[in-house]
Amino acid sequence: MADASADLAASDNGVARSSAVTAGKGKPTPKRSEAERRRRQPFNAPADRKAAAQQSRDRDRTSRARRSEAYKRGENWALPRKDQGPVRALARDYVDSRRSISEYYMFAVLVLVILLFIPSLRKSAVIDYAVLALLLVIVTESVLVGGRVIKLAQQRFPGESTRGIRMYAAIRGTQIRRLRMPAPRVKPGDKI
């Protein structure tokens, strides 16, 4: 009560009111029913269940197609959790920028399976040694590439976690280049 009389006295004396009072909005507050009516969007629901189901399927299909295209392009919002983040993007780019023996792993396995059908080679240890040599090359290459990716990530993104990057780079390196997802953004030989 005393504050109200002090404000009244201050306004009578020509002193400006405190800045806590805001200016009016210039129009009356709308009724709740009017505000709800204005906010409401027209909803055109299909008349029957079949049409509603078809409409829902179409909406889901377009949403999946949009997300799939964004995933192929490598947009961060569409990537699965395991592929998100700048460190993972750096690992993908590093692996994609170089040619490796691991990249041709699946082709070598196919050749080894075909060689198993040759009776003279089936009983010899040549195939066994070839498989062991292939695995040794892949493991060595994966360890080296993973180490380089971790070192590069620690230089470029000092606060980011590099947990699991070595395995991520190794798995990416053993995939056939055309089948890698998200698709490679760099070409072999590009500088990272």
Closest CA to 138 of 107, 114, 115: 107
Cα–Cα distance, 24 to 90 (Å, whole number):
54
Torsions phi, psi of 26, nearest 5?
90, 0
Whole-number pLDDT of residue 76: 87
Whole-number pLDDT of residue 121: 77
Of these ranges, 24-28, 36-40, 52-56, the one predicted with the greatest mean pLDDT is: 52-56
Compute the residue count for the chain. 192
Torsions phi, psi of 8, nearest 5?
-65, -40
pTM over 0.85: no
pLDDT, tens only, 65-88: 999 999 888 888 888 888 899 999
Percent of the chain predicted with pLDDT > 70: 88
Tokens of 146: 């993973």
pLDDT, tens only, 117-153: 888 877 778 888 888 998 999 999 999 999 999 999 9
